[in-house]
């Protein structure tokens, strides 16, 4: 089993994360932000990655620190679980339709973190959560996980559908990219013999 755990403590947040990349998509998530919990549940379920998250943050100020630090901690745990990346498929993409919405996510588990975010929202909030924070979560996750990540909403009107299709796209792409390729199970998927740099 490829597993990773992280405890991240700052003056703003305390985050505990455990992941099992070879799980069954079970989750136990409590961040104090209902909508973020819902998105992380989608991430776990559709990636088949078991995910445990406990977050305590300065929500009396706003949701920024908790959202960003949760992305960092989950990314770090995924990175740990991947180890040297031997045998992984590495590249993957997914198109996710959700009613009127269609989003595309493509990624490379490259050890070269980068985010392209082409997602716009028509409202500043979803429930109590600022929609601008979703980019912050994806940026934090990509950076900490060492993933090149491209997220684009091709079209859509409902803001809930737009962001949920992005999380589901990340989940399905991760699931495919993290899968061990039986034809190269012991090899790092790079002509360099290592990822990054």
Q: Cα separation of 86 and 182, whole Å?
A: 11
| Cα separation values, 90 from 140, 187, 190, 196, Å | 20, 11, 9, 12
- Looking at the domain covering 3-184, what would its CATH class be? alpha beta
Q: Which of 165, 66, 88 is nearest to 53 (CA)?
A: 66
Q: Is 79 buried (19+), middle (13-18) or exposed (0-12) by CB count in 10 A?
A: buried
Q: Contact, 50 vs 57, CB < 8 A? A: no
Q: Which sequence spans correspond to the domains of the chain?
A: 3-184
For the chain, residues with pLDDT lower than 70 are 185, 187-197
**For residue 131, what pLDDT is reported?**
97
pLDDT on residue 1: 84
Per-residue model confidence as pLDDT tens digits over 53-71 = 999 999 999 999 999 999 9
Shortest CA distance to 47 belongs to which of 76, 19, 72?
19
- pLDDT value at position 197? 53
Phi, psi at residue 133, to the nearest 5°? -75, -20
For the chain, the first-to-last Cα distance in angstroms comes to 27
Q: What is the pLDDT of residue 195?
A: 54
Q: Are 33 and 100 in contact (CB under 8 A)?
A: no
Buried b (16+ CB within 10 A) or exposed e, 85-121: bebbebebebebebeebbbbbbbbbbbebebebebeb
């Amino acid at each position: 089993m490829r597993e990773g755990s992280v405890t991240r403590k700052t003056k703003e947040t305390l985050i505990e994360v455990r992941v099992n990349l070879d799980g069954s998509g079970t989750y136990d998530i409590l961040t104090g932000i209902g909508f973020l919990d819902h998105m992380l549940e989608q991430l776990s379920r559709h990636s088949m990655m078991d995910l445990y998250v406990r977050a305590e943050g300065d929500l009396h100020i706003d949701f920024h620190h908790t959202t960003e630090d949760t992305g960092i901690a989950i990314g770090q745990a995924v990175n740990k679980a991947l180890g040297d990346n031997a045998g992984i498929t590495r590249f993957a993409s997914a198109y996710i339709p959700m009613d009127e919405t269609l989003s595309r996510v493509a990624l490379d588990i490259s050890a070269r973190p980068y985010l392209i975010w082409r997602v716009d929202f028509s409202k500043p909030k979803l429930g109590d959560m600022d929609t601008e924070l979703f980019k912050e979560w994806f940026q934090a996750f990509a950076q900490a996980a060492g993933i090149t990540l491209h997220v684009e909403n091709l079209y859509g009107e409902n803001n809930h559908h737009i962001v949920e299709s992005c999380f589901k796209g990340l989940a399905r792409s991760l699931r495919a990219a993290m899968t061990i390729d039986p034809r190269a199970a012991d090899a790092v998927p790079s002509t360099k013999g290592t990822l990054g740099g």
